[in-house]
Amino acid sequence: MLVSIIFIPIGVASLYASRDVVEIIDRYETDCLPENSRSNKDQKVQYIQGPGNKTCSRTIRVPKHMKKPIYVYYQLDNFYQNHRRYVKSRSDEQLRKNSSASDVDACKPEDNGVNGLPIVPCGLIAWSLFNDTYTFSRNSQKLVVNKKGISWKSDREHKFGKDVYPKNFQNGTLRGGKLLDSSIPLSEQEDLIVWMRTAALPTFRKLYGKIEEDLQPNDVIQVILENNYNTYSFSGKKKLVLSTTSWLGGKNDFLGIAYLTVGGLCFFLAVAFTVVYLVKPRQLGDPSYLSWNRNPGGH
């Protein structure tokens, strides 16, 4: 009973918070392919791996008022960032200190570049960095996407060195994801920092940036995106997500529903037990329930 009294309000509150969040999702991986490349996987992969301009333009309509900050996420699907081979393929020491640049044992097969020198940042995670880009404009007026502060502060300060610059990165025969500007220290490469926090599930969102402006209902937003990242090989979806947050974070009704369910269940049980107790009370400490009284002649 007590539990249900506590749980139901929590459930209502979190549900309310979740409902408050405005979320816009735009799936674009197929739409951004040219018509003639959409028919099968090989064509898709060929297109994405081929040279040429992959710019794509999307239009998004804002359904409700969105209060700043509005978070811009990219969402990947069927991407196993949690695969053991992937997760282990990094060198925290190397990311942190310039002096540990050659600490690449864990990074195979992205440990040393073609020239035999260690890659900084090494490993599969960094190598496969997401490289689609988005630019937003409202009524042909550019919306600034703030890419600062999208990663954890502690990561920037303690885990990615200010004196560590990308070296030998993506200079192999096989190119993975994004190229890094070798003049910017890793601690300021926030896209990388966010990416290096491997996701727990194969479907995940990562923060791209923040729009520090309110969006009004029925605003139409033009998105110019560069569709570079290959998710076509593994048939992964790509989505662009714009979302506000509440005190509970993003939009997810589950927590509220779960609280309500459990609270309701507790309530039901409490009522059931009370009813049963009223209908067929058992006096506490009633000796007639002792086993030797229930079935005479011993057990």
Partner 1 sequence: MVRGRIRARLRRSHLYTFSCMRPAPSVTEGPNPVQGAGFSRTVFCNQSLLHKKKPFKYSSNSISTTKYNPLTFFPKALFEQFRRVANLYFLLAALLSLTPVSPFTPVSMIAPLAFVVGLSMAKEALEDWRRFLQDMKINLRKVKVHVGDGVFRYRAWRKVQVGDVIKVEKDQFFPADLLLLSSSYEDGICYVETMNLDGETNLKVKRSLEVTLPLEDDGTFKDFTGKIQCEDPNPNLYTFVGNLEYDRQVYPLDPMQILLRDSKLRNTTYVYGVVVFTGHDSKVMQNSTNSPSKRSRVEQKMDYIIYLLFTLLVVISLVSSIGFAFKTKNDMPDMWYLRPDDDTDDMYNPKKSAVSGLIHLVTALILYGYLIPISLYVSIEVVKVLQASFINKDIHMYDEETGNTANARTSNLNEELGQVDTILSDKTGTLTCNQMDFLKCSIAGISYGTRASEVELAAAKQMAMDLGEQADDFSNFPMHKDKKASEIELETVVTTNNDRRTAIKGFSFEDTRLMNGNWMKEPNNDVLLMFFRVLSVCQTAIPELNEETGTYTYEAESPDEGAFLVAAREFGFEFYKRTQSSVIVREKYNSSGKPVEREYKILNVLDFTSKRKRMSVIVQDEDGQILVFAKGADSIMFERLAKNGRVYEEATTKHLNEYGENGLRTLALVFKKLEESEYSAWNNEFQKAKTSIGADRDVMLEQASDMMEKDFILLGATAVEDKLQSGVPQCIDKLAQAGLKIWVLTGDKMETAINIGYSCSLLRQGMKQICISATNSDALAQESKEAVKENILNQITNGSQMVKLEKDPHAAFALIIDGKTLTYALEDDMKHVFLGLAVDCASVICCRVSPRQKALVTRLVKEGTGRITLAIGDGANDVGMIQEADIGVGISGVEGMQAVMASDFSISQFRFLERLLVVHGHWCYKRIAQMICYFFYKNIAFGLTLFYFEAYTGFSGQSMYDDLYMLSFNVILTSLPVISLGVFEQDVSSEVCLQFPALYQQGAKNLFFDWRRILGWIGNGVYASLIIFFLNILILYHQAFRVGGETADMTVMGTTMFTCIIWVVNSQIALTMSHFTWIQHVLVWSSIGMWYLLLLLYGLASPSYSGNAHKLLIEALAPAPIFWASSLLVTVTCNLPYFAHISYQRCFNPMDHHIIQEIKYYKKDVEDQHMWTRERSKARQETKIGFTARVDAKIRHLRGRLQKKHSSMGGTQNTVPAL
Enumerate residues 89-148 that contact partner 1 by CB under 8 A: 92-93, 96, 108-110, 124, 127-128
- Considering only 14, 94, 168, 227, the residue that binds partner 1 (CB under 8 A) is 14
With beta carbons less than 8 A apart as the criterion, state whether 253 and 20 touch. Answer: no
Q: Which stretch binds partner 1 (CB under 8 A): 29-37, 87-95, 162-170, 217-225?
A: 87-95
Enumerate residues 243-262 that contact partner 1 by CB under 8 A: 243, 245-252, 254-255, 258-259, 262
CA dist 261 and 276 (Å) reads 22
With beta carbons less than 8 A apart as the criterion, state whether 218 and 62 touch. Answer: yes
Query: What is the closest distance, in whole angstroms, from the C-beta atom of residue 240 to partner 1 in the complex?
Result: 13
With beta carbons less than 8 A apart as the criterion, state whether 17 and 249 touch. Answer: no
Query: What is the closest distance, in whole angstroms, from the C-beta atom of residue 251 to partner 1 in the complex?
Result: 6
Query: Which amino acid is residue 32, in one-letter code?
Result: C
Beta bridge partners of 223: 58, 136
Q: Are strands 23-27 and 70-76 parallel, antiparallel or unpaired?
A: unpaired
Residue 214 burial class via C-beta count within 10 angstroms: exposed 0-12, middle 13-18, buried 19 and up: middle
- Considering only 50, 57, 153, 295, the residue that binds partner 1 (CB under 8 A) is 153
Task: Tell me how far apart the terminal alpha carbons of the chain are, to the nearest angstrom.
Answer: 36
Tokens found for residue 18: 């979740």
Enumerate residues 206-245 that contact partner 1 by CB under 8 A: 206-207, 210, 230, 233-235, 243, 245
Nearer to partner 1, 210 or 238 (CB): 210
Query: What is the closest distance, in whole angstroms, from the C-beta atom of residue 186 to partner 1 in the complex?
Result: 13
CA dist 183 and 66 (Å) reads 36
Query: What is the closest distance, in whole angstroms, from the C-beta atom of residue 201 to partner 1 in the complex?
Result: 5
CB burial of 251-286 (b: ≥16 within 10 Å; e: otherwise) equals: beeebbeebbebbeebbeeeeeeeeeeeeeeeeeee
- Considering only 10, 56, 145, 224, the residue that binds partner 1 (CB under 8 A) is 10
Q: Which of 157, 158, 162 is nearest to 98 (CA)?
A: 162
Enumerate residues 168-187 that contact partner 1 by CB under 8 A: 174, 176-177
Query: What is the closest distance, in whole angstroms, from the C-beta atom of residue 140 to partner 1 in the complex?
Result: 27
Query: What is the closest distance, in whole angstroms, from the C-beta atom of residue 151 to partner 1 in the complex?
Result: 8
The answer to whether 293 contacts partner 1 (rule: CB under 8 A) is yes
CA dist 287 and 299 (Å) reads 16
Enumerate residues 273-292 that contact partner 1 by CB under 8 A: 273, 276-277, 282, 284-287, 289-292
Q: Which stretch binds partner 1 (CB under 8 A): 32-40, 113-121, 180-188, 268-276?
A: 268-276
Enumerate residues 28-67 that contact partner 1 by CB under 8 A: none
Query: What is the closest distance, in whole angstroms, from the C-beta atom of residue 158 to partner 1 in the complex?
Result: 5
